[in-house]
Amino acid sequence: MLSFYSPKKISFVAIDEAHCISEWGHDFRPEYRNLKNIIKEIDNVPIICLTATATKKVQEDILKTLGISDANTFKASFNRPNLFYDVRPKTKEIYSDMIRFVRGYSGKSGVIYCLSRKKVEEVAQILQVNGVKALPYHAGLDAKTRAKHQDMFLMEDTDVIVATIAFGMGIDKPDVRFVIHHDIPKSLESYYQETGRAGRDDGEGYCLAYYSYRDIEKLEKFMASKPVAEQEIGHALLQEVVGYAETSMSRRKYLLHYFGEEFDEVNGLGADMDDNTRTPKPKIEAGEEVKILLSVVRDTIEKYKSKDIVATLIGQENAMLNSHKTLEKSCFGIGKNHNAGYWMALIRQTFVVDLLRKEIEQYGVLKLTQAGSEFIAKPRSFMMTADHTYSQTENVGQGVVNSKIQGGVADEKLMLILKDLRKKVGKKKGIPPFAIFQDPSLEAMALRYPISLEELANVHGVGDGKAKKFGKEFVSLIDTYVKENDIVRPDDLIIKGTGVKSGLKLYIIQNTDRKLPLEDISKSKGLEMHELIKEIETIVYSGTKLDISYHINDILDEDQQEDIMEYFMDTETDDIQEAMDEFDGDYEEEDLRLMRIKFLSEVAN
C-alpha cells in the first residue's frame, strides 16, 4: 500500500470511524493503532479524525495514539431531540410486546438489533409469520443475499430489517422510524450509534431497548477468554449500559453526560422525549445521604470504583477493601441503613450533576469535583429517584409466544361456559373432558376469544388436529359470546409461532413411527427422558396421534395398562399427582405420564 501512495502527493489524511483507534472505543481494532506509522511513511501531512461516538476518554486516547495531542478539537452536540428513548424489561412476553409495537408502525421502516445470528433469524421468522414484512441481515448470509436484503429495505420492499450490529454501516436511509434493541448492546457508544439510525430526516424516531441483567451476565461470560486489560475495559463499558438501563432520571441527560455534554432536562431540546421523563418516579430527599457518599469517597482517598464505594457504605467486606484496610475506617458500614441498589442509584445521579467524576486514566475510579467538595462543606437539598428494578425477567424469550398464556386475566364467565361445553362434548364423544381441551387451553380461549379454527389452532395446547376435531362448537360459542357482550378482541395478542421446534417434533413423530427406542431418541437429541416425555406430551396435547405402545409394552403388562386406562377414562382430571395418589405408589410417575400419552392418542386424537 505504501508503495502505491509514495509517488503521489497526499494533501492530508482522513480517518473515519476514528473511535476504532482507542482501546476504550466500542469498536476497537488493534490494526488502527498502526495508522500513525503508516501516515509517517506517506508524508508529514495534516490529519483529520472523524467519529460520531467518542467519549472524552476515547478522544484523548485517539490524540495520544496518533501523536497529535495539541490538535484542534471540534465537537458538535450529541443531542438528537427528535428521538424518543424507552427501556422496557425483557420478559417472556417480549415477542408479543415487540409485534404489537411494530404493528403500530405498519408500512414504516424500522431496524431490530440482536446480538447473535441465531436470534436474528428467530426474530425475523416470528415477525414474518405474524404478517410483518421483515428480513434478516448478518454476516452468516452470503454477500448476494445481504446486498439483496439491504436493497429491499432501502427501496421499501420490506419494512423491517432484523440485524446484528454489522448492519447500518454506510446506510443512509433517512426515514427509519424505530430502532429496537432485542438485546442490550455492549456499550453506550454502540447504543448511541445504533439508535442514531432512526429519524435522520428529523422526523419521528422511537428507540426501544429490552433490558434484562441476564443479558449483561451473558456478555460478561463472552469476555472471559479475552486478555485481562480488555476484560476490565469491557466490564466498565457494560456497567455504563447497566446504569443507563436502570436509571430513573432523564435518559437524554444521562446519555449526553456520558459523552461529556451537559443538558437542561427541563428546557433542553427533547427534554420530555424518554420514558422516565414522561412517567417520572417519585423523588425523595437525599441531601444527607449525598454528604455521606461524598465523604466516603474523600475518606477512602479517592481510590475506589463505584462497587467498592458501595461495599464500604453497606459494610460488605471484599479483597480490595481488605488490602487497603478500609474495614478499620469509621466510614465502613456507615450507610448500611440503605441497600446497595440505593447507593448505586445515588452515585449515578451525583455523577450526572458533577458532584463526582470518573478518573480518565483510571477509568471508573470516583473522584470528588470542586462542587462535590463544596457540597460536603455546605450540604443542601438533593432530590433523588430510585433506579428501576428489572427482577421480573424470568424465562426471557423462551419458546414461542403462543406456547404460553401471555399474562392478563381470563374471562371467568366465558371460562365457565366453555367448561360446560367441554363436559357436554365429552359426554357426547364418550371421553373425559380433559381429553377434549385442558384447562390452560380454555383459559387461553377465555383470554384471546378465538372465533375461527385458524385462531383456535394457535391457542396453547390445541393445534390443527384438535381444532378441526373439536373446535367448531367452541369457536361458534365464543363468536356468539363476543357479539352479545360487545367484546373488543385483542387480535394483536394472538401471535403465531414459527414452528421453531417443528424439526424436533417431526423427528419424534418419524422415529416413534419407526418404533425407535425412546432412550435412543432422547440420546440422539441430547434430552433427558423426562424432557423427551414433555415434548411428546406437547405433541399429543396439540392433537397429533403418537403410538408409543411398543415402549410401554416393555415396562407394563397388559393388566397394568388396562388398569391405568380405566382410571383415565373415569377421572375428570389428567393431573398426574392425583393419579399417583390414586395408585398409592403402584406405578412410577414416568409410567403414568406415558400411559396418559397413550390414552390421549387412542381416545382423544
User: 294 or 18: whose pLDDT is higher?
Assistant: 294
Share of the chain above pLDDT 90, in %: 36
**Residue holding cell 373446535?**
471
d(CA 537, CA 544): 10
- As given in the structure block, the three cell numbers for residue 581 are 395418589
Closest by alpha carbon to 341, among 389, 304, 288, 294? 389
d(CA 479, CA 322): 69
Residue 334 in contact with residue 289, Cβ under 8 Å? no
d(CA 543, CA 597): 11
- 384-417 pLDDT, tens digit each: 888 777 654 433 333 333 333 334 456 888 989 9
Q: Concatenate the DSSP letters of all residues of 128-193 into one string.
A: HHTT--EEEE-TTS-HHHHHHHHHHHHTTS-SEEEE-TTTTTT---TTEEEEEESS--SSHHHHHH
Average of per-residue pLDDT values in the chain: 85
Report the pLDDT averaged over residues 415-437: 89
- 248-287 pLDDT, tens digit each: 889 999 999 999 899 998 999 999 999 999 988 888 999 9
CB contact set of 493 (below 8 Å; sequence gap of 6+): 96, 100, 406, 408, 448
Residue 359 in contact with residue 56, Cβ under 8 Å? no
**Residue holding cell 467519529?**
51
Q: Which of 3-12, 472-481, 569-578 has the lowest mean pLDDT?
A: 3-12
d(CA 597, CA 593): 6
d(CA 316, CA 304): 14
- 144-180 pLDDT, tens digit each: 998 899 999 998 899 999 998 766 555 678 999 999 9
- 55-66 pLDDT, tens digit each: 888 888 899 888
pTM: 0.63
Count Cβ atoms below 10 Å from residue 223 Cβ, excluding itself: 16
Report the pLDDT averaged over residues 509-537: 89
Tell me how far CA of residue 77 lies from CA of 54, 206, 241, 334, 357, in angstroms: 12, 19, 21, 40, 21
Domains of the chain (ranges plus CATH)? 2-66 (no CATH), 83-227+263-278 (3.40.50.300), 287-381 (1.10.10.10), 401-493 (1.10.150.80), 502-604 (1.10.10.1390)
Share of the chain above pLDDT 70, in %: 90
- As given in the structure block, the three cell numbers for residue 184 are 442490550
CB contact set of 552 (below 8 Å; sequence gap of 6+): 561, 594, 595, 598
What pLDDT does 169 receive? Answer: 54
